[in-house]
């Protein structure tokens, strides 16, 4: 998405990075990591065991069938072969190893990297050498990610915001009881998790990570899952962050407004507290979700026309007055469902905005410099961009149980005599990540549950304590 902007110099965007994800990218770049998908891809197809083959058949079709698999005739043929329960030959497994890795590489790279383009034209009957070329180019692309962000940031075409380091739900780290503020019906753990110092660390370590990669502290922060509360504001303000983003539902709850008010929505707001000031912008949920969840079902021209129509209506409603429309969405979720990985939609969209005489793109910090927030919010309501509450991470019995396990572990760490094992601390911060709780009780194959238990087991080993029996498989 960054590289597309080279064609559209008038387009400015704000991108958000998650430090723990960038850390993984760097680990791959430094060849410090081994994981099952890569190792089974590297393994010669003729040496695959039955266990290897079962894993490959189960996992190497995990990408969008209509938009991706079906665009490769041979890959789709292998998919149908699996659906029919037919045997796979050694060549079939080799082709599948290659295609799974090739399919996850963006179409622009497959066209612009000559070796990948040649492999795409070959289509089938791949050799082991072809497979290793794909793996080498994966690493080449990974090495270009952080430099690409740095380059476009230096050119002032993009702003880069940051998320707390391991993507935790900050309000719940301060206190799981805060979930009741967002939804009184939320079932809470019997033991409260309340470690504001952990939320502080997750914020400050993200700022430091950013500073080391980009040469300055970030202006903006995207709180994980846009989860906010009054309790986290001092921590963010004291870190030097100037603005945050969250969902429109939080704005209306904070102002106690039941009816949607776009005049209030389409402007930045100010959170003035004893620790300092923090700007906050609220995303237009409807427009963001159109891109995130709807437009992939439409022709690109129809989708772009529809979106531009919405912007024109906003302009007419406010009669040319300056308004800030914030579109904020997960960067990785949408494009797998679009044709050509979203390139056709994005390029047409950027072209139309570039040519428009009534709308222009801006970064959040750039806008705030010339349009300082006028409206103050006295108290920020707790919630996230999922229904304005925390129900995806706490409330059902499985999620509650995970919080209770985490509370036991965190309290065990408090009792450890100095010096505290740094790896144990890191393991705890990882365990505070949001996705463990998102998937608890909703995990289709149990993989997140197994990983969460594994991380907790590792934690107890690092503090030299017996693993609780409830963590046993």
Quickly list DSSP for 224-277: GGG-B-GGGHHHHHHTT--EEEEEHHHHHHHTT--S--HHHHTS-EEEEETTEE
Sheet holding 269-273, edge to edge: 13-17, 158-162, 220-221, 243-247, 276-283, 269-273, 375-376
CATH number at residue 285: 3.20.110.20
* pLDDT for the residue numbered 308: 98
DSSP state of 177: G
Q: Which of 360, 395, 430 is the last residue of a domain?
A: 395
Whether residue 57 is found in the same domain as residue 12: no
pLDDT of amino acid 142: 95
Last residue of some domain: 334, 369, 395?
Answer: 395
What predicted TM-score, i.e. pTM, was given to this entire model? 0.96
If asked whether residues 329 and 410 sit together in one domain, one would say no
Assess whether 203 and 321 both reside in one domain.
yes
* Residues 418, 303 share a domain: no
Q: Is residue 68 part of a domain?
A: yes
Rounded Cα gap, residues 169 and 383, in angstroms? 10
Q: How far apart are CA 325 and CA 328, in angstroms?
A: 10
Closest CA to 284 of 256, 320, 315, 260: 260
230 and 374, same domain (yes or no): yes
- Enumerate helices (H) and strands (E) in the chain, giving the number of each: 22, 7
Regions of the chain short of the pLDDT cut 50: none
CA dihedral sign, ordered 391, 395, 398, 404: positive
* Structural domain ending residue among the three candidates 95, 115, 143: 143
Number of domains in the chain: 3
pLDDT of residue 286: 98
Q: Which domain holds residue 69?
A: 22-143
Q: Is 273 in the same domain as 214?
A: yes
For the record, the structure tokens of 154 come out as 């230096």
Task: With respect to residue 152, please indicate whether it lies within any of the assigned structural domains.
Answer: no
Same domain, 381 and 422: no
Pair of tokens at residue 8: 């559209």
Query: Pairing between strand 276-283 and 269-273?
Result: antiparallel
In a domain, 151, yes or no: no
Q: Which residue has the tokens 């929505």?
A: 265
- 157: in domain: no
- The pLDDT assigned to 473 comes to 76
| Same-domain status, 191 and 294 | yes
**Is residue 158 a part of any domain in this protein?**
no
- Do 443 and 357 share a structural domain? no
Based on the domain organization, do 7 and 67 belong to the same domain?
A: no
pLDDT for the residue 225: 98
Q: Is residue 123 part of a domain?
A: yes
Same domain, 68 and 195: no
Shared domain for 261 and 377, answered yes or no, is yes
Residue 411 resides in a domain: yes
**Is there a domain that residue 400 lies in?**
no
């Amino acid at each position: 998405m960054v590289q597309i902007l080279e064609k559209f110099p008038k387009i400015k965007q704000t991108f958000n990075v998650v430090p723990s994800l960038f850390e993984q990218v760097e680990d791959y770049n430094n060849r410090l990591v081994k994981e099952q998908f890569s190792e089974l891809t590297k393994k010669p197809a003729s040496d695959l065991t039955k266990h290897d083959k079962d894993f490959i058949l189960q996992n190497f079709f995990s990408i969008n069938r209509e938009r991706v698999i079906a665009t490769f005739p041979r890959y789709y043929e292998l998919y149908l072969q699996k659906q029919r329960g037919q045997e796979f030959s050694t060549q079939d497994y080799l082709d599948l190893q290659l295609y799974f890795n090739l399919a996850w590489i963006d179409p622009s790279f497959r066209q612009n990297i000559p070796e990948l383009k040649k492999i795409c034209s070959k289509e089938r009957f791949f050799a082991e050498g072809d497979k290793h070329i794909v793996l080498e180019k994966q690493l080449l692309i990974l090495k270009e990610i952080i430099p690409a962000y740095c380059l476009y940031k230096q050119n002032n075409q993009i702003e880069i915001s940051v998320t707390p380091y391991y993507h935790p739900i900050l309000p719940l780290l301060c206190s799981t009881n805060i979930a009741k503020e967002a939804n009184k019906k939320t079932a809470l753990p019997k033991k409260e998790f309340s470690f504001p110092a952990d939320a502080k660390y997750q914020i400050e370590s993200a700022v430091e990570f950013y500073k080391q990669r980009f040469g300055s502290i970030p202006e903006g922060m995207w709180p994980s899952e846009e989860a906010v509360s009054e309790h986290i504001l001092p921590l963010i303000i004291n870190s030097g962050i100037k603005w945050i983003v969250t969902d429109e539902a939080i704005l209306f709850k904070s102002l106690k407004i039941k009816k949607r008010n776009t005049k209030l929505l389409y402007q930045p707001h100010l959170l003035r507290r004893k620790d300092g000031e923090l700007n906050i912008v609220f995303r237009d949920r409807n427009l963001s979700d159109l891109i995130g969840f709807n437009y992939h079902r439409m022709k690109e021209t129809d989708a772009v026309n529809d979106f531009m129509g919405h912007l024109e209506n906003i302009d007419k409603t406010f009669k040319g007055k300056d308004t800030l429309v914030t579109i904020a969405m997960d960067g990785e979720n949408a494009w797998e469902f679009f044709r050509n990985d979203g390139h056709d939609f994005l390029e047409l969209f950027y072209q139309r905005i570039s040519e428009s005489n009534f709308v222009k793109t801006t970064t959040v910090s750039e806008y705030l410099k010339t349009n300082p927030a006028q409206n103050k919010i006295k108290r920020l309501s707790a919630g996230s961009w999922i229904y304005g509450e925390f129900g995806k991470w706490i409330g059902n019995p499985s999620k509650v149980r995970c919080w209770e396990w985490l509370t036991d572990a965190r309290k065990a760490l408090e009792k450890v005599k100095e010096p505290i094992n740094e790896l144990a601390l890191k393991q705890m911060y990882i365990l505070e990540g949001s996705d463990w709780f998102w998937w608890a009780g909703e995990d289709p194959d149990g993989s997140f549950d197994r990983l969460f238990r594994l991380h907790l087991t590792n934690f107890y080993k690092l503090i030299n304590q017996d693993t609780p029996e409830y963590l046993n498989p």
